């Protein structure tokens, strides 16, 4: 069974993508900075972008990865920012990794957190 969010993402149109891109500011380093609404992540307190799709809020980076980047996130996997910038929505900077891998990285990168 598809989750409500997956259903919404599957129904996204080009008009939604255009609307999404109007809130993106492309930075010189390649990151797509999200200028729209945001909320705190669960489990960590990082800010994540939110995008309104048919009246419901979806994570901006999830929309970018699935709708623009066509990167489906299977169960047991996480979306990981390769640039470590939670407000980046560049699909090229979002990697689908097994949940255990994401955890391992968080452990190994814990030392040099800004």
* Site for Zn ion, rule CB under 5 A: 31, 83, 85, 88, 90, 93
* Residue 26: CB minimum distance to Zn ion, A: 10
Between 51 and 85, name the residue whose CB sits nearer to Zn ion. 85
**Beta-strand pair 77-81/47-53:** unpaired
Distance of closest approach, residue 33 Cβ to Zn ion, in angstroms: 8
Run of H or E including 39: strand 38-40
- Compute the least distance from the CB of residue 27 to Zn ion, in Å: 8
Give the residue with the Cβ less far from Zn ion, 73 or 83.
Answer: 83
- Beta bridge mates, 49: 38
Q: Are 49 and 42 in contact (CB under 8 A)?
A: no
Q: Which residue has the tokens 């996204």?
A: 12
């Amino acid at each position: 069974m598809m989750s409500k969010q997956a259903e919404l993402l599957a129904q996204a149109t080009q008009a939604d993508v255009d609307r999404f891109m109007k809130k993106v500011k492309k930075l010189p380093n390649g990151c797509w900075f999200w200028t729209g609404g945001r909320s705190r992540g669960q489990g960590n307190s990082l800010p994540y972008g939110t995008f309104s799709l048919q009246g419901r809020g979806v994570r901006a980076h999830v929309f970018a990865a699935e709708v623009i980047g066509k990167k489906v996130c299977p169960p047991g996997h996480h979306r990981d920012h390769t640039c470590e910038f939670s407000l980046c929505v560049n699909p090229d900077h979002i990697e689908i990794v097994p949940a255990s891998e994401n955890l391992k990285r968080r452990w190994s990168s814990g030392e040099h957190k800004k």
